[in-house]
């Protein structure tokens, strides 16, 4: 299987790459070589590598800095994700997107599930 791994140098991307089977072909991408907030770059990466699966781990995860730099956070966490999804649609790839519990407000007594209604309280969660 051909896997495009975004955010490959980040904590999550590094951990995931270490656990992928050797039989898979992993194509790691990250800044500064690949700025996924640029539409042409993001679409170009996906169409060039023609992955079967995209593990989209690229994100701006510094919660406090997201509050101070909301436009940068939106570009990295929302816009880049849209571009990756658009590229995946073009080549027929599946996308695995790993989110955060910050999309919820923390008021639920038990664990959150994928279909629970989000209610982010911060820029990072949005």
Q: What percent of the chain has pLDDT over 90?
A: 94
**Where along the chain do its domains lie?**
2-95
Tens digit of each residue's pLDDT (9 = 90 or more) over 93-122:
999 998 899 999 999 999 999 899 999 999
Cβ proximity of 104 and 112 under 8 Å: yes
pTM, full prediction: 0.92
The fourth-level CATH superfamily of domain 2-95 is NAD(P)-binding Rossmann-like Domain (3.40.50.720)
Residue 89: φ, ψ to 5°: -60, -40
Mean pLDDT in residue range 2-12? 97
Task: Find the length of the chain.
Answer: 126
What's the pLDDT at 2? 98
Picking from 26, 25, 45, 47, the residue whose alpha carbon sits closest to that of residue 34 is 45
Any idea which residues carry the catalytic annotation? Answer: 124
């Amino acid at each position: 299987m051909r896997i495009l791994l975004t955010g490959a140098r980040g904590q999550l991307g590094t951990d995931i790459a270490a656990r992928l089977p050797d039989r898979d072909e992993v194509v790691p991408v990250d800044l500064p070589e690949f700025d996924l907030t640029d539409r042409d770059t993001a679409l170009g990466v996906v169409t060039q590598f023609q992955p079967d699966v995209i593990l989209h781990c690229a994100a701006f995860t510094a919660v406090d800095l997201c509050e101070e730099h909301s436009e940068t956070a939106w570009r990295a966490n929302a816009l880049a994700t849209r571009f990756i999804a658009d590229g995946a649609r073009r080549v027929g790839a599946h996308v695995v997107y790993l989110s955060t519990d910050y999309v919820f407000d923390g008021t639920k007594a038990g664990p959150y599930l994928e279909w629970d209604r989000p209610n982010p309280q911060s820029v990072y969660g949005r």
